[in-house]
Homo-oligomer: A and B are copies of this chain.
Amino acid sequence: MVENAARRHIETDIKGRTFTPFAGAKKHTYASKVTTLKNALKQCGLKNGDTISFHHQLREGDYVITTTLEAVRELGVKNIRMAQTAMFNIHEPVIDFIKDRTVNRIEGSINGSVGAYVSKHLLDFPVILRSHGGRWAAVKKGELHPTIAVIAASAADERGNATGIVGESAFGPISYSQVDAMHADHVIIVTDTLVEYPSPHQEIQERYVDVVAHVDNIGDPKKIMSGTTKVTENPEKLKIAHDCVDLMDATGLIKNGMVFQSGAGGISLAAMKYLGERLEEKDITASTATGGLTQLICDIYKAGRVKNIYYSQVFDAYSVKFLQEDLGLPADIGHYADPTSKGRTIDGLDTVVLGATEVDTDFNVNVNTHSDGRLLHGIGGHQDTAAGASLSIITCPVFRKTNPIVREHVTTVTTPGDVVDAIVTNQGIAINPNRKDLIEKVKGAIPLVSIEELKESAYQATGGPQHVEFTNDVVGMTKWFDGTVLDIIWKVKDV
């Protein structure tokens, strides 16, 4: 028996369990967390070698990565590992931060110029590329541990309740960062718009937030809504998109209650447009559209042809406005695609239409590297949705200029052929021979070609793939969403 701070006599050992005596109570209160970005990083104890994570929902309009790295440089801190969910051409200044060793490692998706740079100038550790779901799982399991999560918000209150739904730079719900908020050692919200407490939306709540960094601008609203939401006008691509919908239809997937994935990118958008029309023609109501929200999907929803939009990111200003009026059913990336969870939005997908930079005769798909070996794109949701969909469709031309797109071996495996069901090209449709059920279903309705025929045609037109000589140096790697290594991105020999 001991006397505790409430002057009560208590037992501290009861049947094998040990208890700690009450030591006193005090009032709990709060203080504003708002400060500058530089102070925020200092308060979070930023030091050499730390890992800083970011989300990419400001896309080509993002100022937060560059502004943060400038603050890191001003603080004299070096050898940062970046753990962004994706990076775009606007992040070209990252090259300078690599050159002066502010940044020495990148463990996250890279699009564009930084990718081209690190393909030639190796970082201290290879770039690790993961899918949306794979990254979520890696942070959750501690395989990728952010020291500091820097989370861009288009509005936040002084206590750190933060959102991407309202404000000048609204980009839709903050979908990628909850896992970082929960697992990082420290969490900084970066916003240009402080709202009165409590913030009316709170994808990230104050319980996870150490500091709120108030900056002038988190991004350029015009560029946040990227150009990938335009439906293609190219007749050849439109035909590919139309063929995708014919294929879906022939396999019997276009039926009441269907669940489909929508996204950005010219052909995929065109396919969604044709799918909307097909739903009208057949007087069918889909259950759910998952993935990225665009005006096209909002319009299909408004027309009553899909009951639920279950979105994980938002691609255009129209859609942001749409959800400001009715939030509908947002699904953050963990809900959408975490492979370690007990159930995900994409597990019930009937179909998805995805792109490719290359496809091979094993149906492996590459979206990360170009045929010259340069790392220029992230994985995004490619793996996740391909594995989640009953019918995953890859669209591509058979060749581009002098480069065969359908080929014997892809330069890099992004998504393994095991989960790729059909390749729809400008020269016909090939179905993965593993999917005998699909081949049987479309017999007579859809003319098929073999993947080898498509490859032969590509090789005849182009003379085959150009020889690229690789070194033994590792630029990066692609991981399957379970954390295993799918492929290595090798450095090309300097010429």
Contact = CB atoms under 8 A, between A and B. Distances in A.
A160 B387 contact: no
Nearest to A328: B200
A488 B11 contact: yes
A200 B339 CA distance: 23
Interface in A387-437: 387-388, 390, 413, 415-416, 418-419
A483 B23 CA distance: 10
B6 A413 contact: yes
Interface string A1-38: 00011111111101101011111111111100100000
B206 A419 contact: no
Contacts of A483: 20
In this complex, the interface size class of chain A, counting residues with CB under 8 Å from chain B, is 35 or more
A348 interface: yes
A200 B329 contact: yes
B486 A347 contact: no
Oligomeric state, in number of copies? 2
Nearest to A332: B205
Nearest to A9: B488
A200 to B, nearest CB: 7
A33 B362 CA distance: 35
Identify which of A27, A30, A342 gathers the most chain B CB atoms within 10 Å of its CB. A342
A410 to B, nearest CB: 9
Contacts of A342: 160, 187, 206-210
Interface string A203-222: 00111111000000000000
A30 B349 CA distance: 10
Identify which of A5, A25, A483 gathers the most chain B CB atoms within 10 Å of its CB. A25
A25 B11 CA distance: 55
27 contacts: A6-B416, A6-B487, A8-B487, A8-B488, A10-B477, A10-B487, A10-B488, A11-B488, A14-B125, A17-B125, A19-B477, A20-B485, A22-B487, A25-B383, A25-B416, A26-B418, A27-B390, A28-B387, A29-B388, A29-B390, A30-B348, A159-B343, A187-B342, A197-B288, A198-B288, A207-B338, A207-B343
Interface of A: 4-12, 14-15, 17, 19-30, 33, 124-126, 159-160, 187, 196-198, 200, 202, 205-210, 287-288, 308, 310, 329, 334-335, 338-339, 341-348, 362, 364, 383, 387-388, 390, 413, 415-416, 418-419, 474, 477, 480, 483-488
